[in-house]
Amino acid sequence: MKNNNDNYNDAVCQTNKIKDNSITSYTQFTTRYDSETSTIWCWMSPTPRPCMNGALIDELVQLQQQITNTYQHKDPDTTWPFRHLVLASKITGIYNLGGDLELIKKYIENKEENKLREYAYKATNLIHRNINNLDLPITMVSLVQGQALGAGFEAALSCDVIIAEKSSRLGFPEILFNMFPGMGAYNLLARRIGSALAERIIVSGKTYTAEELFDMGIIDVIADDGEGILATKDYLNSHNQSHNTIRSMKKIRQIVHPISQQDLFDIVDIWMEAAMTLSKKDLAKMNRLLFLQKLSKDSSDINSNEEALTSRGSEWRKITDASFPLTTHLGENITQNRRKSDCRRQEKLPDKTTS
């Protein structure tokens, strides 16, 4: 059985393979350079589903490497070619719906642990490069215009700045199928808002509004619907003058709240152990979200199938042989089987008096 160091080395080797096999054209996103704000925009449009599939991960890693190469081979007498990298989505109302559940489910059912680990490590390596700004003096910005779930939310959190339109909804639905987000969510949330609130968000399975997350300190800028691009440009222009200060603050953040690649891989190993022990019932619940990924072409599909993203907190009531009190996964103390309580079902009849 491989230890953590072996898994770490495998992930590094896999990353090097991606570097060697240069992608000549991108199929999962398009890029655009904005000279006015010194920004590269990356517009994600993953197919066949709006999720973090293997092709999207590979191409984003390749983009990271190409950007790094640009810096390494620049003329020493020139200014930096750009200062910002923005991750956004071209799909209406959807940022990203999370991990490739079809692939994950297949690997779990077929007991293909090594293939699942390879996928998870590639995704984690991508997130870690974002966290460290590709080891370059740039600012990573995420523009969320719609749904960002699971690994999609983690990708947004890996950036320095999150800008979101008001109608956007973000969350971690993994608990619906007895899992947790394993590609950096805990570390990234804890760094922004502390461990206690990070755990509450992850365990709740809830999708939060952009304004709720702004109030918590997770989202940095709120934009009106349809104004996200303009708000991002305004932010970039306003911060170009203080670019040196922002770079210094990011270095301080890494010192005070470091997130190492090895720590992230260790968490992936815990995620792997949990994934490979999912029951048939858990996988059936995963199918709900997989159905949503396959169906969704824009946010209207998600809104019309909101049940797939709703935690069924009342499922404990199906238990017939339980002894009370019970404690739910959210810490709620259930003192009795409320479903069998007669007092809740009795109708209160008005008093009748005879004259």
Say if 165 falls within a structural domain: yes
Give the model's pLDDT for residue 240: 75
Q: Is residue 71 part of a domain?
A: yes
Strands 161-165 and 221-223: parallel
Residue 79 lies in a domain: yes
Predicted pLDDT at 320: 40
| SS3 assignment, position 56 | helix
Domain assignment present for 306: no
- Residues 297 and 300: their CA atoms lie apart, in Å, by 8
Kindly state whether residue 254 falls inside one of the protein's structural domains: yes
Residue 350 placed within a domain: no
Tokens matching residue 243:
């670019």
Quick one: DSSP state of residue 99? B
Q: What is the pLDDT of residues 180-225, one digit of tens each?
A: 999 999 999 999 999 999 999 999 999 999 999 999 999 999 999 9
CA-wise closest residue to 88 among 238, 230, 297: 230
| 32-53: average pLDDT | 95
- Number of folded domains in the chain? 1
For 150, the 3-state DSSP assignment is coil
Residue 324 placed within a domain: no
**The pTM is what?**
0.79
The C-alpha atoms of residue 31 and residue 43 are separated, in whole angstroms, by 6
Domain around 119: 4-275
Q: Backbone phi, then psi, for 40, in 5-degree steps?
A: -100, 125
What's the whole-number mean pLDDT along residues 81-101? 94
Give residue-wise pLDDT tens across range 273-284.
Answer: 999 999 999 999
Question: Looking at this protein, which amino acid is placed at residue 61?
Answer: V
Mean pLDDT of 242-270: 88
> Smallest Cα–Cα separation from 151: which of 94, 98, 87, 204?
98
Q: What angle do CA 217, 222, 226 make, to 5 degrees?
A: 155
In this predicted structure, what is the pLDDT of residue 328?
47
Question: pLDDT confidence of 25, banded at 50, 70, 90?
Answer: confident
According to the model, what pLDDT value does residue 338 have? 47
What CATH number corresponds to the domain at position 107?
3.90.226.10
Look at residue 224 and tell me if it is in a domain.
yes
